[in-house]
Amino acid sequence: MKKVSVSFTLNGDPVTADVPVTWTLLKTLRDYFELTGAKEGCGVGECGACTVIVDGQAVNSCLYPIPEVEGRSVTTIEGIAEKDGSLHPIQTAFLENNGVQCGFCTSGMIMSAKALLDQNPDPNEEDIRKGIAGNFCRCTGYVQIVESIEMAAKADK
Amino acid sequence: MPDHLFVGKSIPRTIEADKVTGKAVYINDLKRPGMLYGKILYSSHAHARIKSIDTSMAKQLQGVRAVLTGQDIPDVRVGFLKDQTVLKKDVVRQFRDEVAAVAAISPEIAEEAVSLIKVEYEKLPAVFDPFEAMKEGAPLVHETDARGRPLKSNILPLPWKFAVGDMEQARKDAAYIAKDTVSTTWVNQCCMGTSGCIAEFDQNNNLTLYDQTNVIFGHIGRISEYFERIGLAGKKIRVVNPVVGGSFGTKLDTDIYEFIAIQLALNTRKPVKILFDREEEFCALPPRQPAVFTIEQGCDKEGRLIFRHCEAILDNGAYTSWGATTPSVMIMPMSSLYRVPNVYFKATCVYTNNIYAQAMRGYGNPQATFAVETSMDSLAEAAGIDPAEFRFINRNRPGDETPMNLKITSCGLEECITAVRDRLQWDQKRGKQRGRGVGMASLIHVAGGARVTKSDGHGIRVKLDEFGHVDVIESGTDQGQGSPTVISQIVSEALGVRPEDIFLTFGDTALALWDAGTHASRHTFMAGNAAVIACAKAKRQILDMAVELIPRLVKGEFKRMKRKDPEFVEPDLDYGLIANPEDMDIRDRMIFPKKDPDHPYFKVPISEILRNGLHVGIGESRVVAAEAFYDPPTEMLNRDMKGNLSMTYAFGTTGVEVEVDEETGEVQILKLVAAHDVGKAMNPTLLLGQIYGAGYTGVGYGLTEEIKVRNGRVMNPSFRDYQMLTAMDVVPIEAVIVEPGDKDGPYGAKGVGEPGLVPTAPAIANAVYDAIGVRIRDLPITPEKILTALKERK
Ligand code: FES
Ligand code: FES
C-alpha cells in the first residue's frame, strides 16, 4: 500500500510518521505511535471518543486523514499533564467530581473540554454543553462532566 | 464510635487516574505477541438454509491464517437453552447468525477476507412478530430442541408463572379496576467501549481469555462446559479483565464471538483478538428484551390495592440468552412494588427470527415497572385519587413480607415519594394540563445480592506488605461503577489505613477467590461485606503482633536511650493498656490503645509493626494476609417463584415535570427528581454519578432510544440513527439521597447501580399524560406517537 511520510508536532515533540496514505490520524496515533489514549468508539465521526486537538481545534481523529496533519500541531490526552506527572486541572477535576466512570469517553471528553477552555476560559453551562456536544458518554449522564469542566475553569483562574 | 474517616466521604477517584491520562488499557489497546485479528461473517437472511459456503478466495488472501465455518469446528451447542451452535452450518435464523470467521494478521485483511466468503442460501419463511409466531401454522424458528426432539411451537419451554391469592374473589372485591396494555422495545446498552476479547492458548492448551465479562467465574463455567465437548476437558481457563469501557448487562453471558475467538486461537495456535465495531455492537450484540404487557389492577374504595394481574409476551428472537430469564426479575416489581395481596403474573417467551436479547441495567425491571406504574396511574384515576397519594397509600414499609416472600428490612419508599412530591411542588402542579405536567413512578430492586445462582458469594483477599501497602484482590469486576474508590474507602476504614495505601486487582480468576458476578447492583454490598470481614481478620493479625511487639519496641528504645544517656529514667508505663488485642485499634495508619489513643509511646505506625513482624531474624517471621468469602443467607426462587433472594431491597421514586409541545409532539423535561433509598451513601459524589447516569439512560429509554428492527434487520445501527442522548439533551436532574441505613449492608449501604433507570420512563409517561391528557403506552414516547395520540383524541 502506498505510504506517506508526514511530519508534525505531537505533544510538543517533532515527529515523522511513515504510514499508509489511507490511515487516519487516530490509527496513526494508536498503531504507529502507540498512543492509545484516543479511542475508537464508532470510527465514523459520531461519538467523539477519538477527539484530539489539532492546531487548537478539537477534531475527531477517526475522520482526519493523516496526510492533512503535515506541519500541524497535535495534542492528545497523553500530552496534557505536566512532564513531572502532575495532572492538568481538567484531569484533576474529572477525578474529583466523578466526571469519569468507565473512562472510555474520557480522553475525548477531556480534549474537547481543553479545546473549549483554551478558547473560552470562562464558559457558561451552555458553552460547555456545546463544547462536548459531539462527545457521547453512556455512564455519567453528562452532569458531572459539565460540573468537572466548570470546576476546572474555576481552578485555572 | 468515632466518625468514619473515609466511608461516607466524597473521596476522589484518584485510584483511577490512568483513565484521565490515556494510560488505562482497554481491550482495544491490548496486544499480545503474534496476535491475529478475528472477524465474523454474519447471515444475509433472517431465516434461510445454507446451501454452500465457499471460502477458497478468502483462504488465498495473503495474511489470512484461518477461515472457519460450521464444518470446521465441533458441532457443539451453546447458550442458555443450548439452542445454537457457535458457527451455523445448516440454517440461519436471524441476521446476526455467525456463518464463518477469519483470523488474519491485521483487522483490515480479516475484513477483506470475510467479504470474499461466498454463501449460497435458500430462503425460508420467517416470522417477526411474537403474536404471529405463537399462532398455529407459524413458521417454526427451531424444528427441534437441543436434544433433537421435534418442536411444535415457537413458545419457549420456560413457564414463568407466579400466582398468589384468590384472583376471582379479588376482582369481586375491587371497587375500581383499570386495565392497560403497554409495550417496550429493544434498546441497546451502548457501552462506549465496544465488545471484544483476546483468546490465547499456551502450549498445554490452557486458555487465557482477556475479556470484558462481568461474570468472570460464570464465564469459566460456560467455557469449561464447551471445552469438555470439544476434547479439552480439564484444561485450565483463566479470565482476565482489561479496563472495561462500560457493561450495562452486555457482559453477562458468554457471547458467540467469544467462542469464535477461542476456536480461531485453537486453530491458529496464536492469540486471536475479536473487537466489534459500532455497527456490530448494534446488530450482533443482544440488547434489552422487548415485551408487551396486559396489566390489570384493582383497589378498594380507600385506594388500597387488592390485586394485580399481568400477562407478558416477550419477543425472544431466534436464540436464548439471559433475555429469556428477565421475567424472573419482572416478578419482583409485579409482586412486590407496593403492597398488593393477590398477584398473578405470567410471561411467555416466543422465538422469532429477530435478534435475540440479553441483559441490560435493571434486567426485566424497567419493562415491568413501566407496566405497573402505568397501571398505577390509570387505577388512581379510576379511583379518583391523586396518583402520588395513591402510591403513598400503597407504599411498602419496613418489616413487610411481600407475596414473593421478599423480606423488606430497610425501606425508605415513604420518604422517597414525599421528597418527590415536595420537590416537584406536586400538589400545585398536578392536573393543570395546558401542556405541562408532573408524573411519578417508584421502584423496588435487589440491593443486597441476588441469589440467581446457587452461590451468591463474593470472595476478597487482603494482604499487607511491610510498608503498609494493602493489596486487595477482588473477585468482582470494575466496569466503571466506581468500585476501586468505594472498596478502597471500605478497606481503609475497616483496616485503619488510607485509601492511597490500597492497591486493587479486579477481574482475574487466577488470583481471586470466587464471585457470582458484578451484576444485580450487588458489588458494593457483597464486596463491601466481604472486605469488612477480611479486614477484621487482617486487623486482628496486626494487633496480635502489636501486643507482642510494641512493649518490646518501647523497651528496646528505652534501653538505647539509657545507653546514650545514663541519666535517662524509664517512664513508668501502664503496659496493661496494650496487653490485649481487643484493647487496641488502628486508625489512619496508626495503632493505639483504645483507652489512650494519643499515648506518647504506645501509638505506633502500622508499617513499623508489619516490618518488625516480618524481619525478625529468627524463624518466627509473619506476614499479614486474610481472605473472606461472604455468602449471605438468602434463598433462590422456588418452583412457585418465591424466595427472599436478596438481603435487602432498594426503593426509590422518580418524579418528572414535562412540557409537551402539542404542535411538534416534543417532550421537554423541565425537572427530574430521583429519590433513592441507598441505605447509606458510601461516597456521595460517586453515588450521584450512578443516579444521574442511570436516570439519563432511563430518559433515553422513555423518549428516544429504539433499535428499529424491520423484518429481522436492524435498521439504525449507528449512534446518530439510534438517538442516544447527548450533552445537548439537558435533563435538569436532582437526586435526593435517603439513608435509612441497612443493618446488613457494609456500613449500612445497599446497592444502587441499576435503580435509577427503572422508574424513569414510566414517570415521564405519567407526566406526559398529566400534561396533555393522552397516555402513551408504547416506549419510546416519540413526537410521532404523541401527535398521533393527540389526533385520535380530537
Ligand atoms: S471514533 Fe471518532 S467519532 Fe467515534
Ligand atoms: S465514562 Fe463511560 S462512557 Fe463516559
The length of chain A, given as a count of residues:
157
Residue B2: predicted pLDDT: 57
Query: DSSP assignment, residue B243?
Result: B
The residue of chain B with its CA nearest to that of A142 is B727
| Pairing, β B342-351 against β B436-446 | unpaired
Of the residues A82, A83, A139, the best mutation for testing chain B's interface (the one with the most B CB atoms within 10 Å of its CB) is A139
Bridge partners (DSSP) of residue B211 are: B197
DSSP B441-505: EEEEEE-S---SSS---EEEEEEE-TTS-EEEEESS--SSSSHHHHHHHHHHHHHT--GGGEEEE
The bound ligand whose nearest atom lies closest to the alpha carbon of A49 is 1
| Pairing, β B733-738 against β B667-677 | parallel
On whether the CB atoms of residues B688 and B174 are closer than 8 A, the answer is no
Cβ of A48 below 6 Å from ligand 1: yes
> How near does any CA of chain A get to the CA of B498, in Å?
17
Neighbours of A142 (CB within 10 A): 29
Which domain-ending residue is among B604, B630, B656?
Answer: B630
Looking at the structure of chain B, the number of domains it has is 3
Confidence of residue B233 (pLDDT cuts 50, 70, 90): very high
Looking at the fold, whether B580 and B719 belong to one and the same domain comes out as: no
Looking at the fold, whether B272 and B330 belong to one and the same domain comes out as: no
Q: Does B186 map to a domain?
A: no
Helices then strands (H, E): number in chain A?
5, 5
Bridge partners (DSSP) of residue B90 are: none
Give the largest Cα separation in chain B, rounded.
105
Q: Whose CA is nearest to atom 3 of ligand 2?
A: A137
DSSP B29-57: G---TT-EEEEEEEPSSSSEEEEEEE-HH
Confidence of residue B363 (pLDDT cuts 50, 70, 90): very high
Helix (H, G, I), strand (E, B) or coil at B118: strand
Closest Cβ–Cβ partner in A47, A87, A143 for B192: A47
Distance A140 CA to ligand 2 centre (A): 6
Looking at the fold, whether B598 and B646 belong to one and the same domain comes out as: no
Confidence of residue B114 (pLDDT cuts 50, 70, 90): very high
Please state whether the peptide bond connecting residue B780 to the residue before it is cis, i.e. omega within 30 degrees of 0: yes
Give the largest Cα separation in chain A, rounded.
49
Distance B152 CA to ligand 1 centre (A): 47
DSSP alpha helix (H) spans, B582-682: 606-614
Q: Does B236 map to a domain?
A: yes
Looking at the fold, whether B444 and B461 belong to one and the same domain comes out as: no
Task: Residue B194: list chain A partners with CB under 8 A.
Answer: 41
pLDDT digits (tens, 9 = 90+) for B407-416: 999 999 999 9
Looking at the fold, whether B320 and B424 belong to one and the same domain comes out as: yes
pLDDT digits (tens, 9 = 90+) for A16-49: 999 999 999 999 999 999 999 999 999 999 999 9
Angle at B156 between CA B519 and CA B127, to 5 degrees: 110
Q: Does B12 map to a domain?
A: no
Closest Cβ–Cβ partner in B246, B695, B727 for A104: B246
Residue B3: predicted pLDDT: 87
The residue of chain B with its CA nearest to that of A52 is B22
Helices then strands (H, E): number in chain B?
20, 30
Q: Does B241 map to a domain?
A: yes
Query: Which structural domain range is residue B534 located in?
Result: 457-630
Closest Cβ–Cβ partner in B23, B192, B482 for A41: B192
DSSP alpha helix (H) spans, B198-325: 216-229, 256-268, 278-283
Looking at every residue in chain B, the average pLDDT score rounds to 97
Residue B736: predicted pLDDT: 98
Looking at the fold, whether B711 and B690 belong to one and the same domain comes out as: yes
What is the C-alpha to C-alpha distance for residues B428 and B441, in angstroms, rounded to an integer? Answer: 18
Tell me the mean pLDDT in the region B617-645. 96
Which domain-ending residue is among B579, B613, B630?
Answer: B630
Q: Does B13 map to a domain?
A: no
DSSP B751-790: --TTGGGTTHHHHHHHHHHHHHS----BSS--HHHHHHHH
pLDDT value at B174 more than 90: yes
On whether the CB atoms of residues A131 and A116 are closer than 8 A, the answer is yes
Nearest in space to B32 (alpha carbons), one of B220, B240, B222, B195: B240
What is the C-alpha to C-alpha distance for residues B6 and B72, in angstroms, rounded to an integer? Answer: 56
Task: Residue A43: list chain B partners with CB under 8 A.
Answer: 277-278
Q: What is the pTM of this model?
A: 0.97
Q: What percent of chain B has pLDDT over 70?
A: 100
Q: Does B508 map to a domain?
A: yes
What DSSP element (H or E) covers B350?
Answer: strand B342-351
Looking at the fold, whether B96 and B223 belong to one and the same domain comes out as: yes
**Interhelix angle B523-564/B606-614, nearest 10 degrees:** 80
On whether the CB atoms of residues B353 and B94 are closer than 8 A, the answer is yes
Which B residues, 157 through 216, put their C-beta within 8 Å of a C-beta on chain A?
189-194
What DSSP element (H or E) covers B291?
Answer: strand B291-299
Q: What percent of chain B has pLDDT over 90?
A: 98
Nearest ligand 1 atom to the CA of B278 is 4
Helix (H, G, I), strand (E, B) or coil at B270: coil
Which B residues, 630 through 659, put their C-beta within 8 Å of a C-beta on chain A?
none
Closest Cβ–Cβ partner in A36, A101, A110 for B29: A36
Q: Does B497 map to a domain?
A: yes
With an 8 Å Cβ cutoff, are A39 and B726 in contact?
no
Residue B159: predicted pLDDT: 84
Looking at the fold, whether B269 and B307 belong to one and the same domain comes out as: no
What is the C-alpha to C-alpha distance for residues B36 and B48, in angstroms, rounded to an integer? Answer: 31
pLDDT value at B624 more than 90: yes
The CATH number that applies at residue B302 is 3.30.365.10
Residues 6 or more apart in contact with residue B564 via CB below 8 angstroms: none
Looking at the fold, whether B231 and B300 belong to one and the same domain comes out as: no
pLDDT value at A1 more than 80: no
Confidence of residue B793 (pLDDT cuts 50, 70, 90): confident
What is the C-alpha to C-alpha distance for residues B101 and B263, in angstroms, rounded to an integer? Answer: 9
What is the C-alpha to C-alpha distance for residues B44 and B37, in angstroms, rounded to an integer? Answer: 22
pLDDT value at B495 more than 50: yes
Of the residues A98, A128, A150, the best mutation for testing chain B's interface (the one with the most B CB atoms within 10 Å of its CB) is A98
pLDDT digits (tens, 9 = 90+) for B507-516: 999 999 999 9
Looking at the fold, whether B601 and B484 belong to one and the same domain comes out as: yes
Tell me the mean pLDDT in the region B681-692. 98
What is the C-alpha to C-alpha distance for residues B464 and B157, in angstroms, rounded to an integer? Answer: 51
pLDDT digits (tens, 9 = 90+) for B257-287: 999 999 999 999 999 999 999 999 999 999 9
Angle at B366 between CA B363 and CA B372, to 5 degrees: 130
Bridge partners (DSSP) of residue B677 are: B651, B738
Which domain-ending residue is among B598, B630, B662?
Answer: B630
pLDDT digits (tens, 9 = 90+) for B715-761: 999 999 999 999 999 999 999 999 999 999 999 999 999 999 999 99
What is the C-alpha to C-alpha distance for residues B311 and B530, in angstroms, rounded to an integer? Answer: 39
Bridge partners (DSSP) of residue B401 are: B407
Taking only Cα atoms into account, the Rg of chain B, rounded to an integer number of angstroms, comes to 29
Name all domains of chain A by residue range, CATH numbers in brackets: 3-79 (3.10.20.30), 89-155 (1.10.150.120)
Looking at the fold, whether B538 and B614 belong to one and the same domain comes out as: yes
DSSP B74-109: ---EESTT--EESS-SSEE-STT-EEEEEEESSHHH
With a cut of 0.85, is the ipTM above it?
yes
The residue of chain A with its CA nearest to that of B361 is A139
The bound ligand whose nearest atom lies closest to the alpha carbon of B247 is 2
Compute the Cα dihedral for B402, B395, B450, B328 and give only its sign: positive
The CATH number that applies at residue B200 is 3.90.1170.50
Q: Does B141 map to a domain?
A: no
Residue B434: predicted pLDDT: 86
Nearest in space to A128 (alpha carbons), one of A143, A138, A107, A140: A143
User: Which phi and psi (to 5°) does residue A88 adopt?
Assistant: -70, 150
Looking at the fold, whether B621 and B645 belong to one and the same domain comes out as: no
On whether the CB atoms of residues B293 and B260 are closer than 8 A, the answer is no
| Pairing, β B305-317 against β B291-299 | antiparallel
Nearest ligand 2 atom to the CA of A101 is 1
Residue B1: predicted pLDDT: 46
Distance A91 CA to ligand 1 centre (A): 21
